[in-house]
Every structure is written in C-alpha cells, then in structure tokens.
A and B are shown apart, each in its own frame.
Chain A
C-alpha cells in the first residue's frame, strides 16, 4: 500500500499541484480596487460646455493571461444609483426614469467576449449593458503594467469610451440641450486575489 502511495498517488498529487500553480501564473485574477480607480463621464451642455460626473460604486474583476492574452477576461459592474455630478438635486433627477431609471435598471455592466493584445495594452470587445439595452463595444485598454506594493500585485488599465445615449433606449425627448453623446473614462487598478 505504502509502495502504491509513493509510486503513484504522491507524484500525481504533486503534478496536480504543480499544474495548478502553473495555471495560476498563466492567468492572474484581479479584483477592481475601488479606492484607486474611477469611472467618470462627461457630456455636452448646450453644445458649448461639458458636464462632468462619476459613478462612486463600481465593482469588477479581470483575469490576465500573459501567455495567452486572448484568454484574458474583463468584467465591470457600475451601480447606476451611485451617479455623482456634484449636485444632489441633479443626481436625483438623473436617477429618474427619464434618464437612468435606476429602480428598473440598477446596474451598468461590461463583460468581455474577446481580447486581443495590442501595442501597449489590449483591445477588448464585449457586451456593454446600460438602461436595459446591450450593445457590443470595443475598448482599447491602455496600460497593463504590474507593480507589487506591500506584497500585493497590482495592475492598472485606462480606457475611454464614446456612447450615444439614444442607442441605449434613453428618452430622446430628454436629450435636448444635454448632448446625446457621452464620453466615459475608466481608470481601473486591480489587486491580485
């Protein structure tokens, strides 16, 4: 029995553990670091100026496979209720059904479906869901530098995204002097799990 364990089971177990650690090295799992990340946006007002805002409650995770980047995945979930334009009354107004309708559509999400390595980052295509409408979008993630701080490995990416609110079922009558197009800026830092 002892011979059987030493001859087969132990090597198999060690091989499994080794394979596991190899897999962990191949695809690193990261959690979105809310403290060092931001999702902000700006939209035109009267076509002469910009209104800026941000979402304060964001979560996400991404897995980065350095050896096979196509296997890397990215997910982001934004709580629409956490919109913040530095004006409480306007934020309340934006949460209403004429705009984000946060009681019906509480989250804005992005989930990658394919990833392609490019110079200085990744080109990530995925499903972007906002206001109950899902569209395929492509993000150009710049960055990807790693840094180990206090024993925790970190990686960061930045991207910009231009969307038309009317493409996502927002009320066309409520667009008016606020431009239809909104620019979204995502700067996210991930902490390895």
Chain B
C-alpha cells in the first residue's frame, strides 16, 4: 500500500544516490571539461531514477505495455542517451539537436502506442490523431529549444530547479486526479533533478544542459501520460508544461552580476505561482471527487509545501 513515508524515503534515497555520484565525480579531473561533465550528469540522473524505482517497486513491464512503461523504458533512457552523447566532443551540436528533435517528434507517438487513441476505437479520427501528435511534438520541441537557449545564457541552477518544481507539481496533480503510479514517477524525477542540480552547484559554477534536457522531456512525459491515460485536465497540463517558460521573464537580469541569486529566486517564484494555482484547483477537485471515496483516516494530505500523498487504493 502506498505510504507517504515510503515515498519520502524512496525519493530521498534516490536523491542522495544522485547527489553522492555528482559529488564524487565533481572533483575528478577527467570530468572537468563541460561536455564530459554533461555525460556524468546523465549517469547520476539514471542511477537515482533506477534506485527510486526499485525502492518503490515501480517496475515497468517488458515489453512495455502501458504509457508509463514506455515513458520509463523508452523515453527517459532515450533522452539520457541523447544527452550523454552530447558529451562526445566529436559530435557536432547540430547532430545532437537533430537527435533531440527526433525524440521530440516521436515521443507522443511512442507514448500513445497501441492505445485507444491510435487504434481507431476512440472517437479520434486520423486527422485528429495527427493534429494531437504534431502539436504535442511541436510544444515539446519549443519548450526544449527555449529552455536550452536560456540555459546557454544563464546556466545557473534556477532553470533545472524550476523544471523540478513543475515536475513535482505535475506529479502531485496526476496523483490527485487518481493516477498514483504516474505521479510516483514524477516525484522520483523531481527528486533526482533537484539533488543533481544542488550537488552540481556545490562542485561547479555552471549547470549541465543535460539536467534541463531530461527535465523538459520528463515534464512533458508526465503531463502527457497523466492527461491521455489518467484524468489530468488538459488546461492544467498546459499551464504546468509552460510554467518553466516564465524563467525567461528575468533573462535580462543575467547581465547584472552584483546579485546573482536574485534573478534565480525570482524565476523560481514566478514558476511556483502557476504550479501552486493548478495544485489548489486539483486539490479542490480531489476533495470533491475522490476524497469521498476515502475514509478521512486514510486521506493524508500535506499541502502546500513539500508534497501531497494519499492512499489512492481506497476505492
């Protein structure tokens, strides 16, 4: 039975594993060049995620049969491999961006594979399917390009932390909409992203673009699976998905080096506002629709702040 303490322990352990790896590798001379550090960051994220999944018994089936399986087995490893290869110096940035855009193009199709949306049994026509797949790919590509461009300008920890915050909000929203497993994956992802970002800040000044890349694809995947397989409302998903773009509002501050923390804090605050609004609305829907199914003793909600968990199996 899912228990909030188990989630905290698993998320915390996954975060510690990622952070220890980063701290151990951070001082290593071989990894000093940025491109190699990028690859090391991918390993750190992967290790943390695997640890968290094992601790929470989140074992995707093979071959992947559900949207979440495909997200965990196909999409996340793909972005980790792409960001890892971005660390190979001989590869041109154009090729790396080609790979990223290819992933953005196929990710929605992979996630919806074999579902009612593409099998013709749902009310979607082939035109509607094409529209949803193309629009989703375009949104993912735009978010990725936009945040990567911003990262090149600032490269501080506020961008990956904003993504982690949005992923945490997405995970809690998916959970409150009734899809516990989908939310669990998001909480693990947010934990390892946060830990890797903070550990990187301790060892180096510049954040690795791999963290943002994995964060963007992770956020998209959680929202997409939560919307099309769970009951996350599409408007909430769009707000959560576009929240990290608010980091651009303070992009002008980066020229001012006198107070380097302030723009980052403003970015986080700006991203937090829509995330909290969506969480409050989701909590209202949760109280109205799902809470009556649960006994009060079973319903453990800790909002706002750290997290929101509930025992969803009280049906």
Contacts and interface: CB of A to CB of B under 8 A. Distances in A.
Interface residues of B, number: 35
Name the interface size band of chain A. 20 to 34
Interface in B1-51: 1-2
Contacts of B179: 96-98
- Chain B binding surface SS class: loop
Nearest to B313: A176
The CB with the most chain B CB atoms within 10 A, among A51, A90, A103, A106, is that of: A103
Interface stretch (B126-134, B193-201, B226-234): B226-234
Interface string A159-189: 0000000000101111111100000000000
A139 interface: no
Contacts of B117: 103
A55 to B, nearest CB: 16
A177 B180 contact: no
A96 B57 contact: no
Contacts of A132: 65-66
- Chain A binding surface SS class: loop
A26 interface: no
A101 interface: yes
Contacts, number: 86
Nearest to B180: A98
Given A104-B65, A104-B115, A106-B121, A178 B315 contact: yes
B201 to A, nearest CB: 34
Contacts of B311: 176
A92 B313 CA distance: 13
Given A89-B290, A98-B312, 14 more contacts: A89-B289, A93-B293, A93-B312, A96-B179, A97-B66, A97-B179, A98-B313, A103-B122, A171-B180, A171-B181, A173-B1, A174-B181, A177-B314, A178-B315
10 contacts: A96-B177, A96-B229, A101-B229, A104-B67, A106-B119, A106-B121, A171-B180, A175-B313, A176-B313, A178-B313
Interface of A: 51, 87, 89-90, 92-94, 96-99, 101-104, 106, 132, 169, 171-178
